[in-house]
A and B are shown apart, each in its own frame.
Chain A
Amino acid sequence: MKRRFVIFVALKSPIAAYIAIALGVAYIWIFAPPFLITATFVGLCIMWSAWTFISVFRGTDELNSAGARYALAIASSIGVPLSIAFVMLMIAVPLIQDTIESTAALGKSGLSPTTIGFGLGVVFTTTLQCVGCAIGYTLWWRSKR
C-alpha cells in the first residue's frame, strides 16, 4: 500500500520532471554541450512549465488542481525562507563558501566562477522549492485518501 502511494504521488506530481530538469541543468553545466542542445533543453523546460500551468489552473479534476495549488503554496513557504537562511549561513561559514567555489571550478562550461556561483544559487533555490512541492503534494494526497 505504501509503495502504491509513493508511485501514485510520483506520477501525479511533477517531481519526475523536476528531477529531469535538475539533471539537464547539471549536464549542461558540466559538459557544455553545443548551443542547439542547450536551446532545445530550455525550450522543453518552457513548454513543460506552460503545460503544468495550464493543467493546474485549467484542469478538469479539481482535487488534483487544488492539490497542485496547495503544493505550490507549501513550496514557496518552505523554499524561500530556507534559501534566505542558507545565504545567511553561507556568509557566516567560510567552509560553505570554499565548497561552492571548488564545486564551481569543476564545471567545463568556461563560464566565470561568479556566473557559475549564481547559476548554482538558482539551481539550489529551485531544488528547495521542488522539495517543498513534493512534501506539499504528498501531504495533500495523504490527507485526502
Chain B
Amino acid sequence: MKNNIRVLRAEKRWTQADLGKMLGVSRNSVNAIENGKYDPSLPLAFRIARVFKKTIEEIFDDQQD
C-alpha cells in the first residue's frame, strides 16, 4: 500500500528513528512501511495518523496497489 509518510516525516524534519520512537516501533519498521513493503496494523495506522495530525486516508492510499 502506498503512503506519504516519508514526505510528512521530511516536513517535520524527523528521522526514521525519531518517528519509530514516537510510534513505539523500530526504525526498520518505519522504513518498511515507508517503502510500502509492510502494511501496518490498524492500531499502528491510527497511531501514525495521530502523530501527523491527519486521517488514515490522507496518509495511506489503497488505490495504488
Which single residue of chain A is at the shortest CB-CB distance from B40? A62
Interface size class of B (residues with CB under 8 A): 10 to 19
Query: Is the beta-carbon distance between A62 and B29 smaller than 8 angstroms?
Result: yes
Task: Determine the distance from Cα of A17 to Cα of B32 in the docked complex, in whole angstroms.
Answer: 26
**How close is A141's CB to chain B, nearest CB, in angstroms?**
8
Which single residue of chain A is at the shortest CB-CB distance from B43? A62
Interface of A is mostly: helix
Query: Is the beta-carbon distance between A63 and B38 smaller than 8 angstroms?
Result: yes
Q: Which of B10-18, B20-28, B57-65 contacts the other chain?
A: B20-28
Report which of A60, A62, A143 forms a contact with B37, defined as CB distance below 8 A: A143
Task: Determine the distance from Cα of A10 to Cα of B24 in the docked complex, in whole angstroms.
Answer: 23
Number of interface residues, chain A, beta carbon within 8 A: 10
Interface residues of A in 62-93 (CB under 8 A from B): 62-64, 66
With A63-B26, A144-B38 already in contact, 12 other A-B pairs whose C-beta atoms are closer than 8 Å? A60-B24, A60-B25, A61-B24, A62-B25, A63-B33, A64-B26, A64-B28, A66-B38, A143-B37, A145-B28, A145-B31, A145-B37
A residues with CB within 8 A of B:
60-64, 66, 141, 143-145
